[in-house]
Amino acid sequence: MKPEINMNMKVLVVDDFATMRKIVRNILKQIGFTNIVEAEDGANALELIKEDKIDFVVTDWNMPNMTGLELLKNIRSIEKAKDTPVLMVTAEGLANNVVDAVKAGVDNYIVKPFTADTVQAKIEQIFAKRSGKA
């Protein structure tokens, strides 16, 4: 089934910095999302993804132990989660990194610093594309 945007969907925010998790959570709440969970690293995120039904992942790129790119590749290798939309938030706006993320199956990415409007636009693009409306 093609994922469509739904404000009750479970969104997982992954970042090693509580500050960025809070910024992203606040923006997601402003957009209207009501069901937001957090993970402070990739391993914790994968546990949540395996145990629960996560509908959408927003992850940082630059994290210790498991990078956002490695997390993305892991998500794409888990049968029940392989089609989960993933938005990458990164300070790494370099072309090679973007190519690597696209090859690994990222749905969209945001380069820090960003505004709430940018996050909303990127999320809308993801779900419009996923539902065949873009």
Partner 1 sequence: MNVEFINPFLSATINVLKTMCFTEVKPGKPFLKKDQNSCGDVSGVVGITGPPNGSMSLTFSKDSIIQIVANMFGEKFQEVNDDIKDAVGELSNMISGTARNELGNKGYAFKTSIPTVVSGPAHEIRHMCKAPTIAIPFSTSAGGFVVEISFEN
Q: Which residues bind partner 1 (CB under 8 A)?
A: 16-20, 22-23, 26, 62-64, 90-94, 111-115
Burial class of residue 10, CB neighbours in 10 A (0-12, 13-18, 19+):
middle
86-90 sheet: strands from edge to edge: 35-39, 10-14, 56-60, 86-90, 108-111
Minimum CB separation from partner 1 for residue 97, in Å?
10
Taking the least distance from each CB to partner 1, the nearer of 41 and 55 is 41
Output 33 or 127, the one with its CB closest to partner 1. Answer: 33
Rank residues 19 and 77 by Cβ distance to partner 1 and give the closer one: 19
What value, to the nearest 5°, has the Cα angle with vertex 123 and ends 79 and 101? 55
Taking the C-alpha atoms of residue 89 and residue 53, their distance in angstroms, rounded to an integer, is 21
* Closest CB 93 distance from partner 1, rounded Å: 5
The least CB distance from residue 42 to partner 1, in Å, is: 14
